[in-house]
Amino acid sequence: MAAAGEDLDEVEAAKHRLDPHVLTLGFARRFATYKRPNLLLHDPQRLLRLLSDPERPVQLVLAGKAHPADQAGQDMIRSWLQLCAQPVARQHVIFLSDYDVRMAEHLVQGVDVWINTPQRPWEASGTSGMKVLVNGGLNLSELDGWWAKAYTPEVGCALGDGQEHGDADTSLFGNSQRV
């Protein structure tokens, strides 16, 4: 934030934004359309209501970057940044830019639930979700890649029904299985 020229008061406030006693969701990856990073933005007002529930607050840490030639990926990041700029979201959503392996190492150790929403059957590996499990976190993931084989209710939640639904599938969260 400081490097981007943000107000110093905002930079200082960001250092204290995350609460270790609040459920922390993590979502970090290369922003590409088949990974559906904006699926959570399908109903942004609902997302903000869920995150800011005074009885059960949630914080969401996102990290990612798009390939320089991927305009759609860059647009998805801009959508998240617009949400993060809203006053309610600023208290519950953080977007970390310049996502890399070092940042991923910290994220998989610090989140309670790792979210993964790829379009079947395109999930390359999803190894960050494996690392979250080793660090005591849970997965909330589309039944694809290694998660389709490893899923059990003891280690997380399965999204979808394990079937391919084409490009227009946005019903993923309506089909989730609960722990």
Buried b or exposed e, range 105-133, using 16+ CB within 10 angstroms: eebbeebebbbbbbbbeebeebebbbbbe
Residues 151 and 154: their CA atoms lie apart, in Å, by 8
Residues 73 and 176: their CA atoms lie apart, in Å, by 25
The one-digit pLDDT tens for each residue of the chain (179 residues) are 788 888 888 888 878 888 999 999 999 888 988 888 898 999 999 999 999 999 999 999 999 999 999 999 999 999 999 999 999 998 899 999 888 888 888 998 999 999 988 888 877 566 777 888 888 899 898 888 888 888 899 889 988 877 777 665 444 444 444 33
- Give the start-to-end residue ranges of the domains of the chain: 16-175
Residue 175 is predicted with a pLDDT of 42
Helices 71-84, 44-51: inter-axial angle, 10-degree rounding: 50
**Torsion of the alpha carbons at 109, 114, 120 and 121, rounded to the nearest 10:** 10
Residue 94 is predicted with a pLDDT of 92
Predicted structure pTM score = 0.83
Q: Is the domain covering 16-175 a CATH 3.40.50.2000 domain?
A: yes
Are 57 and 23 a contacting pair, CB within 8 Å? Answer: yes
Residue 1 is predicted with a pLDDT of 76
